[in-house]
Amino acid sequence: MKRRVIVDSSGPTHVVVVDVRMKFWSMVVFMVKWVIASIPALVILGFIGLIMTAIFHLILGVGPMWWHGRMH
């Protein structure tokens, strides 16, 4: 199958992807790498959530019971 490439610099071109052909195991490897790459982002988001929770606790005095030193 021959493919023709037409270059036109007259303006923006809209592209619609209708099919992606990828071997099954290549897709599995890609998805595993994707999951591994997301771990640092989850750690960063967890740290941001921890900081935000601590700020709300300090400002509003809300939070888990063990933060207030009482468990009952």
pLDDT per residue over 16-26, tens digit each? 888 888 899 99
Q: Does residue 42 lie in a domain region?
A: yes
Q: Does residue 46 lie in a domain region?
A: yes
| Domains identified in the chain, total number | 1
Q: Does residue 69 lie in a domain region?
A: no
Domain carrying residue 50: 38-62
Reported as a single tens digit per residue, the pLDDT across 24-33 is 999 999 999 9
| Conformation bin of residue 51: beta by default, left when phi > 0, alpha when psi is -120 to 50 | alpha
Handedness of CA 57, 63, 65, 66 (dihedral sign): negative
Q: Does residue 7 lie in a domain region?
A: no
Please, are residues 53 and 63 in contact by the beta-carbon 8 Å criterion? Answer: yes
pTM of the shown model: 0.50
